[in-house]
Structure 1
Amino acid sequence: MKVLIFGATGMVGQGVLRECLLDPGVEEVVTIGRTATGQHHAKLREIVLSDLTDYSAIEAELTGFDACFFCLGVASAGMSEADYSRITYDIALAAARALSRLNPAMTFVHTSAAGTDSSESGRVMWARVKGRTENALLRLPFKAVYIFRPAGIRPMHGITSRTTLYRIGYAITAPLLPWLERTFPRYVTSTERLGKAMLKAARQGAPKPILECEDINRL
């Protein structure tokens, strides 16, 4: 299986990248982002792209893939809806539209969040934008589209968040997170489980297009 990963420097993306590199059934991993991950592996190739809304210059490098794991995201705190939409909606749709045209047999797996507003009309800005993004992705002509909505995420294997506030929160709650993951699977998963679940969805499919935290843990 050949896979693309967007957002491989973020916490979720790091977890997905790790599981892809460890999986013997994945023969090639290509990451796309504004910066390289800094990792080196025989089956890893990285594409650094300054404008993540325009893929015209690299279309020749974007064919022949079986799956895309889109893990790129940003915290909404302090952002206007327009700015948050440019990152959350515009980048995701630009990538997905290009890939659906170049790889119609691809499975596209998108990382969203628990609490997303599928109606696109709620009062919470980030939830509306994510809902609009999910709905647009689900309409694209891929082989399959799966939306992952994790809630709390336990970082494992040295993986850390790039957001300072999140890093502090994870450091404080680290002793509790393994217990919370076991006890409350509806609310907590891990970077390892997310990566493995995304690979399973890409290979075997999933029972429904939108997967909440508990669904992710069951895969």
Structure 2
Amino acid sequence: MKILIFGASGMVGQGVLHECLAAPDVSQVTTVGRTPLEQTHPRLQQLVQSDLMALEAVEGELQGFDACFFCLGVSSSGMSEEAYRQLTHELTLKVASLLAKLNPEMTFVYVSGAGTDSSEEGRSMWARVKGKTENDLQKLPFRSVYLFRPSIIQPLHGIQSKTPAYRYLYRLANPFLSLIRRACPGMIVTTDDIGQAMLNAARQRGGRVVVEAKDIVRLARRLSDRG
């Protein structure tokens, strides 16, 4: 498989990239972002673009892919609804619409969040915007669309959040997250779980699917070439 990853520098994206490069059936991974990654690998290519709203200029480098794992996202904290909508809905749909035109047989996997409001009418601003984004993605002519809704995410393999405060919190919480994950499977997902589940989604191609946290864990355990 040939995989596109958006948001590979973030905590979730780092985990997804780690799993993609470890998968024997992935022949190429291309990351798309505003800044280059420090990581190198024989199967890793990087497409650095300062304006992700203007990817038409590099259409030729976005063709021939089996799946796109869209891990790009921002916190809504301190943002107006309009600003958050521009970065969350408008950017995602702009990129996805272009990819659907270039790769109609593609599986598109979007990282949303637990509590997303599919009605688009709830009180929570971020949940409404995420809900509209999910709804509009399902209308695009991809072969498959998976909408991942993780809740608490535990980073593994030394992966860290780019936000200093989050890094500190994860250092404190990580031992407890491991205990909770063993005691209550499905409540917490790891960055490994998300990456493996995305790969299995691309392998099985299942229409339009909302994947809640417990289902991410189940999907990560299914059909994996890595056992």
Name the TM tier (shorter chain): over 0.9
Contact 1:114 1:151 in 2 (8 A): yes
Cα distance per residue 1:126-169 (max 9 Å; x no partner): 10110010001011000000000000000000100112232222
Deviation at 1:207, TM superposition (A): 8.5
Q: Secondary structure at the match of 2:178?
A: helix
| Runs of 4 or more above 6 Å deviation | none
- Tell me the distance in 1 between the aligned counterparts of 2:196 and 2:66: 16
Task: Report if aligned partners of 1:150, 1:187 keep a CA contact under 8 Å in 2.
Answer: no
Q: Deviations over 1:7-59 (max 9, x none)?
A: 00000000000000111100000000111121100010001111111111100
- How do 1:120-199 residues align onto structure 2 when only pairs under 5 Å count? 120-199=120-199
What is the rounded CA distance, in whole Å, between the counterparts of 1:163 and 1:77 in structure 2? 13
2:175 alignment partner, SS class: coil
- Separation in structure 2 between the aligned mates of residue 14 and residue 26 of structure 1, nearest angstrom: 16
Alignment partner, residue 55 of structure 1: 55
Shift of the alpha carbon at 1:210?
Answer: 0.2
| Structure 2, unaligned runs of 5 or more | 220-227
Give the 3-state SS of the residue equivalent to 2:17 in structure 1.
helix
Residue 186 of structure 1: how far off its partner (Å): 3.5
State the Cα distance separating 1:208 from its structure 2 match: 6.2
Give the aligned residue type for 1:2: K
- Give the 5 Å matches for 1:68-107: 68-107=68-107
Match of 2:42 in 1: 42
- Answer yes or no: is the 8 Å Cα contact 1:149–1:211 preserved in 2: yes
Distance 1:15 1:78 in 2: 27
Would the alpha carbon gap of residues 169 and 122 (structure 1) be closer, same or farther in structure 2, given more than 3 Å must change? same
Task: Name the SS for the 2:69 alignment partner.
Answer: strand
DSSP-derived class of the 1:210 partner: strand
Alpha-carbon distance change, 208 to 61 in structure 1, aligned in 2, over 3 angstroms: closer
> Distance in 2 between the 1:3 and 1:147 partners?
17
- Judging changes above 3 Å, is the alpha-carbon distance between structure 1 residues 186 and 208 closer, same or farther for their aligned structure 2 residues? farther
- Residue type of the alignment partner of 2:104: P
Q: If the length of structure 2 is used for normalisation, what is the TM-score?
A: 0.94
State the secondary structure of the residue aligned to 1:72: coil
Residue type of the partner of 2:13? G
Helix, strand or coil: the match of 1:176? Answer: helix
Q: Distance in 2 between matches of 1:69 and 1:184?
A: 27
Contact between 2:145 and 2:207, CA under 8 Å: does it hold in 1? Answer: no
Over residues 59-101 of structure 1, what are the superposed CA-to-partner deviations in whole Å (9 max), with x where a residue is unaligned? 0111100000000001111111111111111111111000000
1:153-192, Cα deviation, whole Å (9 max, x unpaired): 0000010011223222211111111121222234210000
Letter in 2 for 1:115: G
Q: Give the number of aligned pairs.
A: 219
TM-score of the aligned structures, taking structure 1 as reference length: 0.97
Calculate percent identity across the aligned residue pairs: 55
Partner of 1:200: 200
Displacement, 1:205? 3.1
